[in-house]
Structure 1
Amino acid sequence: MQQCSLFILTLLCVTVKDISGSWEEWWTYDGISGPGFWGLINPQWSMCNKGRRQSPVNIEPDKLLFDPWLRDIQFDKHKVSGVLQNTGQSLVFRVEKDSKHQVNISGGPLSYRYQFEEIYFHYGMGDNRGSEHQIDHHTFPGEIQLYGFNKELYHNMSEAQHKSQGVVGISLMVQIGEPKEKNKELRLVTNAFNKVMFRGSSYPIKHLPLSSLLPDTQQYLTYEGSTTHPGCWETAVWIIFNKPLYITKQEMYALRQLMQGSQLTPKAPLGNNARPVQPLHHRTVRTNINFNKQGTQVSSNCPDMYRNMHYTARYSHRSRSKKSIACKRKNVQKKCHKK
């Protein structure tokens, strides 16, 4: 019994030594350090297990709320430079901190300006999985997520991710196929995949025009959620564009060659790095897509914000000294009267 205890203690010591004292490095997408255990690995990540506004989620089209007041998304057209890095959990691009020209994100559902900070690449080892968000339970081969922090209220991402309305997440679903037009700007990133094969490797990328990476659409979905990596802080406004980003089979093949470990101990492939979808818990998912205008048959139960209820006071036909309340609903003929 003592020998067994000694063996377990020794194993724990070796494991802790391998962790190198950093919680940020000791988490994965599977096993005992996977998403189901993130909230137990580090007490500061408790929202991963206890939160009720978590991301990603499955988007149900028949429950979308059309909001006519949602604006277009605005991206500054500045080019950014940064570093593409294999972290062992994901492939991440982070912008240079001392860059002269920062890219601001505004409009849409955002009440503030957000400063672009990083890009996360989520993808599967097969074409039937990879994205974190799902549309009607459909999973895409990959998902590219752009993160920014609220620059009007906070100083940096480290501060903002803990605070209300601190983070914006822009989600681009990835499809495999030949794009109609070659996106030379995206090639700046995809051509560097083979430079970051192993954990800890990095490669500089210069003059990346962020706005040109976005799909050619202003249709999107939006909801309040969290970051999809530890510590799952519920401070994110998510914007999911209604058009995928296309990459070629060759580019996806190169992405799937990346490994979780170092060159000496490569471990498993980096892919399948998607957190499972989380319960919506009665949150509203809004959209600026007007299905009625597009000629699509929509059920009368389909909610939208054009049909807003308001109240008006008017004189009763029996007595001008008495008032009745007429509740009117736009596009609906019925009126109810309180005598």
Structure 2
Amino acid sequence: MHVVWDLSVILQTYIICTSSAQPITSKLDESWWAYKDVVQGSFVPVPSFWGLVNSAWNLCAIGKRQSPIDIETSHMIFDPYLTPLRLNTGGRKMGGTMYNTGKHVSLRPDKAHLVNISGGPLGYSYRLEEVRLHFGSEDSQGSEHLLNGQGFPGEVQLIHYNQDLYANYSEAVRNPHGIAVVSIFIKLSENSNAFLNRMLNRDTITRINYKHDAFLLMGLNIADLYPDTIRYITYEGSITIPPCYETSTWILINKPVYVTQMQMHSLRLLSQNEPYKIFMSMSDNTRPTQPLLQRCIRTNINFSKQGRDCPNNRALRPQYRGNTKDGHQ
């Protein structure tokens, strides 16, 4: 305990000293963090230090509604008022640019082709800002969220901002009801999801081998990414990168999407560095799960016992019963 405290003081002193000598740069504010220790070079904070090294990121350490979480199905509450999520593409396919950001595979849609979601737990309309991939170095890990303590090989996160209240993502992410994230677990199969196949086929994924690489994709149908189910799990949480703002409504779809073993292997071959630096796989780009505390996990997956409240008494919470059609395996 004392060692951790002493180290945090040293880190905070380091930030104070460097920031007093020169203005805090955008590099420090936005990208001066990592998921895992760097092989060589200067110190870059891993998740356990995100909330200690920059006062603007203190929610990462002291927040009460942080993400991701371990979804314990015994804690879920059936909410009969949770309607199906609505996806609106205007009947058009979209284009987007796929990036290697050094931390994620990121697909950012062309602003000319708007994709919106509404309904479900959302009281507003949210516009798609980014599709982000998290994945592991092994098949047993890679998703940010866990299901009853179990990880999945990966997780797709469709990140949206509230277009009814805010002008853009940067404004929305700092404010209440600002962000909605649709999350879908990735599993392995002999066949790939049609949308992910466009991103992960060999001709495409090899275009973004290194940090800052980018590649334009056209004719994408975002509806292809959504599994065939109206069932989901939802809770109030945060974005999972610094500054960890607690402005996100999470919607976890109750069916996975699939990629092939070869496509997962291709993801693990992506470097989080530029080509002239040492190779370091982008895999395991996940934040550890955070405490649920007093939050509710609601779902429209029907239980044998139906409840409309959100009791803190765990004994009153209905037990989850997965079914063969919509339940996780």
TM-score range, shorter chain: 0.7 to 0.9
**TM-score, with normalisation over the residues of structure 2?**
0.81
Give unmatched runs, 5+ long, in structure 1: 1-8, 293-301, 309-339
**Aligned partner of 1:33: which letter?**
P
User: Shift in Å at residue 306 of structure 1?
Assistant: 8.5
Whether 1:186 and 2:196 are equivalent positions in the alignment is: yes
| 1:95 equivalent in structure 2 | 109
Q: Are the counterparts in 2 of residues 260 and 266 from structure 1 also a CA contact under 8 Å?
A: no
Cα distance, 1:307 vs structure 2: 11
CA displacement at 1:26 relative to structure 2 = 1.9
C-alpha contact (below 8 Å) 1:123/1:129 kept by paired residues:
yes
**3-state DSSP class of the match of 2:195?**
helix
CA contact (8 A) 1:79 1:208 kept: yes
Structure 2 residue 120 is matched with structure 1 residue 108: yes
Aligned residues: 282
User: What SS does the corresponding residue of 1:44 show, helix, strand or coil?
Assistant: helix
Q: Does 1:240 align with 2:252?
A: yes
Q: TM-score, with normalisation over the residues of structure 1?
A: 0.79
Give the greater-gyration-radius structure (CA): 1
* Corresponding residue number in structure 1 for 2:80: 68
SS of the residue 1:173 aligns to: strand
**Structure 1 position 82 matched with structure 2 position 96:** yes
> Residue 201 in 1 paired to residue 213 in 2?
yes
Which of 30, 41, 49 is the matching residue for 2:36? 30
TM-fit CA distance, 1:71? 0.4
What secondary structure, in the 3-state scheme, does the structure 1 residue paired with 2:302 have? coil
- Cα deviation, residue 194, structure 1: 1.3
Q: Secondary structure at the match of 2:122?
A: coil
Structure 2: give runs of 5+ residues left out of the alignment: 1-13, 38-43, 312-329
Give me the whole-angstrom Cα distance separating, in 1, the residues matched to 2:94 and 2:278. Answer: 31
Distance change >3 Å, CA 25–CA 306, structure 1 → 2: closer
How far, CA to CA, are the matches of 2:246 and 2:270 in structure 1? Answer: 30
CA contact (8 A) 1:64 1:303 kept: no
When the two chains are superposed, the root-mean-square deviation of aligned CA atoms in Å is 2.3
Equivalent position amino acid for 2:97 in 1: V
Cα deviation, residue 185, structure 1: 3.1
Q: Distance in 2 between matches of 1:104 and 1:188?
A: 21
Q: For the residues of structure 2 that align with 1:65 and 1:48, how far apart are their CA atoms?
A: 26
Moved more, 49-58 or 36-45: 36-45
Contact 2:296 2:310 in 1 (8 A): no
Which deviates more, 35-44 or 62-71? 35-44
Map 1:260-279 to 2 at 5 A.
260-279=272-291
Task: Say if 2:194 and 2:224, in contact at 8 Å, map to a contact too.
Answer: no
1:304 is aligned, of 304, 307, 319, to 307
Q: Distance in 2 between matches of 1:307 and 1:47?
A: 25
In the alignment, the residues of structure 2 paired with residue 148 and residue 304 of structure 1 have an alpha-carbon distance, to the nearest angstrom, of 29
Asked if structure 1 preserves the Cα contact closer than 8 Å seen for 2:60 and 2:244, the reply is: yes
Q: Who is 2:224 aligned against?
A: 212
Identity, % of aligned positions: 39
Q: Are 1:68 and 1:306, in contact at CA under 8 Å, matched by a contact in 2?
A: no
In the alignment, structure 1 residue 172 sits paired with structure 2 residue 184: yes
Aligned counterparts of 1:111 and 1:213: Cα–Cα separation in 2: 23
Measure, in 1, the Cα distance between the counterparts of 2:246 and 2:110: 26
Q: Provide the C-alpha distance between the structure 1 equivalents of 2:181 and 2:193, rounded to a whole number of angstroms.
A: 22
1:17-71: per-residue Cα shift (whole Å, max 9, x none)?
9x98512222110235111111233322111111110000011111110001100
Verify: 1:125 aligned to 2:137, yes or no: yes
SS in 2 for 1:22: helix
